[in-house]
Structure 1
Amino acid sequence: MAPIDTLEIIDAQIHEPFPAVRPNGADMHLLTRMQIELAREAMDAIGVDRALAVTDDAFIELASTLFPGRFPGVHTFFPILDDFGPAVRKVAANPAMVAGRALVGNFATAEMRPEFDAGKFDTLYAAAEDVGLPIFNSTHGGCARMAEVAERHPALTLIIDHIGVAQHPVSPPETMSWASFPDLLDLARYPNVAVKLCGAPLLSEHAYPFEDLWPRLEQLIAAFGAERIMWASDYTRLRTADLPRGARPRRRGLTYAESLNFLLRSDRLSLADKRQIFGGTATRLLRLPPIGTDWPMPEMRW
């Protein structure tokens, strides 16, 4: 068995996939079941053991029932509450949830939300630190602002989404650059800050395996260490990115397998680093239980 085939692989971010044809009527339970099955099939096809479900709570709860342990939930906190305390404590008490996500950046403008400057998220970070709930932070290029949060809440695990930069296709095309990447590297001085290595291929000028990414990825690993980096695909978003590159251009964005294998199959990472990036970091920081050995095979119904 090849060494990389022994790795347990955790995808630190997927969203719910949507089928091209949806159920008739308003059967949302059936639609959610279909989304879970689509996600599980995609994971099984490329060898992902489990994936953090950054989805609506209905997906997380049903997935937790159908496939216990395969879809740890991440609850998204929108800036609509005056006091996040009760909501944070509710999420932390839910065994289907392992983390929260703060939408501190506006993806549509690639700017920090005015609610962040107004202190709207202060109660979220305070409550999360109090109960030990890790928080992912969607900064969309504004990651420099997370330094103040890391300083105020040293016991809170903060994870910066999308390597700290704005990314296509949700952010405006003109924001697609590495401009904020030095700000992310500067956050490495805070031991409570980690990074979600997600979406980097979108910033590549090359086709798979995106060799031009490595100078910056090596900077990232040198700054944070593999033990503070977790891989994520965000594959439903990357599949919608219209990037027809390479000798056989296909207007279907980047595949799930490409987003995994440009790192997993690379000889630029040691096996020890891969062990952290593809599972060890997420397991430790999110306090995940061991990957199940008795997960059921999918039901075959015709």
Structure 2
Amino acid sequence: MAAAAASGPPKIIDSHLHVWASPQQAAEKYPYFPGQEPTLPGHVEFLLECMGQAGVDGALIVQPINHKFDHSYVTRLLSPVMLENLECHFYHTPFGSVKSYSHSSMSFQDGYRAVRFNPYLWPSGQLMTNEVGKAMFAKAGELGAPVGFMCMKGLDLHLSEIEELCTEFPSTVVLLDHLGFCKPPKNQEEEQVFSKLLNLSRFPQVYVKLSALFRVSRCQYPYEDLSDIVTKVVSSYGANRIMWGSDFPYVVPECGYKEAKEAVWQLLQQAQLSSSETEWIMGRTVNQIIFNNPSSSS
């Protein structure tokens, strides 16, 4: 996909964001899924404007719920002509659900690089460790495609499933969205859940997204209550298993895109990380696991 660039400043890669069609584009060619019409702009031109202002070089796009299983809008952005016109290299994932593929037909084309498991799209009463879930998880590992987990209702609800999949299929890389949705603990029960997030680091294939800070912080921007969480996650996983993400465009009305990146920088400074560790979190980690390219400047 993206050609290797000459050596230069470390690339800053946003590991978690969404794009969807504008209302005009939706009416003409890329319809929204019924009942999932967006309430805020998320078209690619707006994203590029925000990335330019923030000094962000690339992005891992997560398929939005607004188009559900129709990936045509994101696929359009992957065409060589479109990439050239946009003057930007995108790192994309289809991040579909259990209903997106059968394990036998699962493949990655058009620049797609990963899968997302959304436990709330599984049939009622079934787990991600059912026959289909295991087959897809195993197939993703065979294809070298990371599997993201969105545990929006709480990591503890899905921890045993993730552990079972990691144990049975150690070659499949796992991405935990939004710090596993662990907020700064306020009681013993929340402390235990956060400890379980840290304990998942025993599986070397597990990576954590330091993303959507506004979703996990109990405070307003710049989300300073996450300082201790960030320090402990980095200590447990190592910077080379952590990646920052904005959750664009949802982050824009919360604090702004540029400000979201700056909030992460501030938290990493508070954690007293080295410049090398910061480079891993801000771009090298996602570059390595998506493109097997650890270089921070390519």
Partner of 1:155: 171
C-alpha displacement at 1:138, in angstroms? 1.4
- CA displacement, residues 86-138 of structure 1 (integer Å, 9 cap, x when unaligned): 12xx21xx25112111112469xxxx973425443111111112222111111
Partner of 1:249: none
Q: Distance in 1 between matches of 2:171 and 2:201?
A: 15
C-alpha displacement at 1:49, in angstroms? 0.4
Structure 1 length-normalised TM: 0.74
Q: Distance in 2 between matches of 1:22 and 1:178?
A: 47
After TM superposition, the structure 1 stretch with the greater mean CA deviation from structure 2, 200-209 or 35-44, is 200-209
- CA displacement, residues 237-281 of structure 1 (integer Å, 9 cap, x when unaligned): 234xxxxxxxxxxxx322112221112245223211110001111
Q: Distance in 1 between matches of 2:99 and 2:211?
A: 27
What are the equivalent positions in structure 2 for 1:212-227 lying under 5 Å apart? 212-227=225-240
What are the equivalent positions in structure 2 for 1:1-302 lying under 5 Å apart? 6-17=9-20, 19=22, 22-23=24-25, 25-28=27-30, 35-55=43-63, 57-65=71-79, 66-67=82-83, 70-80=89-99, 83-87=102-106, 90-91=107-108, 94-105=109-120, 114-116=126-128, 118-140=130-152, 141-142=154-155, 143-145=158-160, 146-165=162-181, 180-239=193-252, 252-266=253-267, 267-268=269-270, 269-287=273-291
C-alpha displacement at 1:76, in angstroms? 2.2
Letter in 1 for 2:48: R
| Structure with larger RCO (C-alpha < 8 A, sep 6+) | 2
Where in structure 1 do 4 or more consecutive aligned residues deviate above 3 Å?
Answer: 117-120, 177-180, 288-293
Q: Distance in 1 between matches of 2:120 and 2:193?
A: 13
Letter in 1 for 2:262: N
Structure 2 length-normalised TM: 0.75
**Residues 201 and 210 of structure 1 are in contact (CA less than 8 Å); yes or no, is this contact kept in structure 2?**
yes
Letter in 2 for 1:26: E
Q: Distance in 2 between matches of 1:63 and 1:82?
A: 21
Q: Distance in 2 between matches of 1:228 and 1:102?
A: 19
C-alpha displacement at 1:46, in angstroms? 0.7
Secondary structure of 1:136's partner? strand
Q: Distance in 1 between matches of 2:241 and 2:297?
A: 23
Q: Distance in 2 between matches of 1:144 and 1:221?
A: 20
Q: Distance in 2 between matches of 1:100 and 1:113?
A: 22
Letter in 2 for 1:22: Q
Secondary structure of 2:254's partner? coil
Q: Distance in 1 between matches of 2:167 and 2:27?
A: 50
Cα RMSD, aligned residues only: 3.0
Between the two proteins, the alignment pairs up a number of residues equal to 255
- Relative to structure 1, is the Cα distance of residues 279 and 178 closer, same or farther in structure 2, using a 3 angstrom cutoff? farther
- Relative to structure 1, is the Cα distance of residues 222 and 126 closer, same or farther in structure 2, using a 3 angstrom cutoff? same
Letter in 2 for 1:164: G
After TM superposition, the structure 1 stretch with the greater mean CA deviation from structure 2, 222-231 or 194-203, is 194-203
Secondary structure of 2:175's partner? strand
Gaps of 5+ in 1: 168-176, 240-251, 294-302
- Relative to structure 1, is the Cα distance of residues 211 and 150 closer, same or farther in structure 2, using a 3 angstrom cutoff? same
**Residues 117 and 150 of structure 2 are in contact (CA less than 8 Å); yes or no, is this contact kept in structure 1?**
yes
Letter in 1 for 2:224: E
- CA displacement, residues 216-235 of structure 1 (integer Å, 9 cap, x when unaligned): 11110011000000111112
**Residues 165 and 180 of structure 1 are in contact (CA less than 8 Å); yes or no, is this contact kept in structure 2?**
no
- Relative to structure 1, is the Cα distance of residues 288 and 72 closer, same or farther in structure 2, using a 3 angstrom cutoff? farther
